[in-house]
Amino acid sequence: DGGITQSPKYLFRKEGQNVTLSCEQNLNHDAMYWYRQDPGQGLRLIYYSQIVNDFQKGDIAEGYSVSREKKESFPLTVTSAQKNPTAFYLCATQNRGTYYGYTFGSGTRLTVV
Amino acid sequence: AQSVTQLGSHVSVSEGALVLLRCNYSSSVPPYLFWYVQYPNQGLQLLLKYTSAATLVKGINGFEAEFKKSETSFHLTKPSAHMSDAAEYFCAVTPSGNTPLVFGKGTRLSVIA
């Protein structure tokens, strides 16, 4: 079945650590996105990539980094510079040839301990 | 810049009653509009979309929404609420397929037996 796999589902980070969240897709979609979700804040865009080897900052990119070396993969690194990383992180893909809607992964919940 | 306002962070209805979730948008060009649903600790699932065809859009699970340009609104309705409709609902807008979706802050729907 085609879909998006986010791993791990739960992740714990110590202060000062970098952690990487995985997002893999087999939908053959060109565009991929990372959103952060906090209670009452909706979804806020961190980074997005519309083609391989290219990505753009979203509204809250500070303290995060990404890479897009393969069409199928768009990992997100939460660096120690991100002061408040505890949140639910969602990866999404977009098939830009159709109706421009997104397909979402099931999310990763990151907690700082 | 595009923006979305969802009126009411929490809506509570009785089982069998009408569901009305409000969404107003701002966009400099005719937009693409979406409603998504999210169950706890899961990703978002597309309910329905407006892409400049019919102004009344029918989606999954008995939901529908009407695009009203004069009111810049895209309210979500369902004639009769079920317990299984309890979830968080997000409205989203984009002016084109090249621009990331902008999400509202969400409305949590509770259904009372």
Q: What is the mean pLDDT of each run of 10 residues along chain B (113 residues)?
A: 91 97 87 93 92 87 94 96 97 85 95 95
How close A9 gets to chain B, by Cα (Å)?
9
Interface of B with A in 47-66 (CB under 8 A): 49, 51
CB of A102 closer than 8 Å to CB of A92: yes
CA distances to A15, A57, A93, B62, B79 from A54, rounded to whole Å, are: 30, 11, 15, 40, 45
Q: Are A84 and A33 in contact (CB under 8 A)?
A: no
Average pLDDT for chain A: 92
> Do A85 and A112 touch, CB atoms closer than 8 A?
yes
Q: Which of B46, B49, B103 sits opposite A43 (nearest CB)?
A: B103
The answer to whether the Cβ–Cβ distance between A101 and B98 falls below 8 Å is no
Is there a contact between B43 and A100 if contact means CB atoms under 8 Å apart? no
Residue with tokens 């565009």: A31
CA distance, residue A7 to nearest chain B CA (Å): 13
Look at residue A97 in the predicted model and tell me its pLDDT: 65
How far off is chain B from A80, nearest CA to CA, in Å? 25
**Do A94 and B97 count as a contact with CB atoms less than 8 A apart?**
yes
Query: Residue A102: which of B98, B101, B106 has the nearest Cβ?
Result: B101
Nearest chain A Cα distance for residue B61, angstroms: 18
Interval A48-76: pLDDT, tens: 999 999 999 999 999 999 999 999 999 99
- Concatenated DSSP letters for chain A? ---EEEE-SEEEE-TT--EEEEEEE-S--SEEEEEEEETTTEEEEEEEEEETTEEEE-TT-TTEEE--SBTTB--EEE-TT-S---EEEEEEEE-TTTT--EEE---EEEEE-
**Phi, psi of B37, deg, nearest 5:** -120, 145
CA dist A4 and A31 (Å) reads 12
Q: Strand pairing partners for B77?
A: B20, B64
Q: Would you call B93 helix, strand, or coil by DSSP?
A: strand
Q: Tell if the CB–CB gap between B105 and A100 is shorter than 8 Å.
A: no
Comparing CB atoms, the residue among A6, A40, A48 nearest residue B100 is: A48
For B52, which residue in chain A has the nearest alpha carbon? A99
Look at strands A19-25 and B87-94 and give their pairing. Answer: unpaired
Of A33, A101, A109, the CB nearest to B49: A101
Angle at B59 between CA B108 and CA B10, to 5 degrees: 10
Stretches where chain A sits below pLDDT 70 are: 1-2, 97-100
Contacts of A102 in chain B (CB under 8 A): 44, 46, 101
The encoded tokens of residue A75 equal: 């990992």
Contact B51/A48, CB-based, under 8 Å?
no
Give the pLDDT score at A100.
Answer: 67
The partner residues of A4 in beta bridges, in order of sequence, read A25
**Distance in angstroms (rounded) separating the CA atoms of residues A17 and B72:** 45
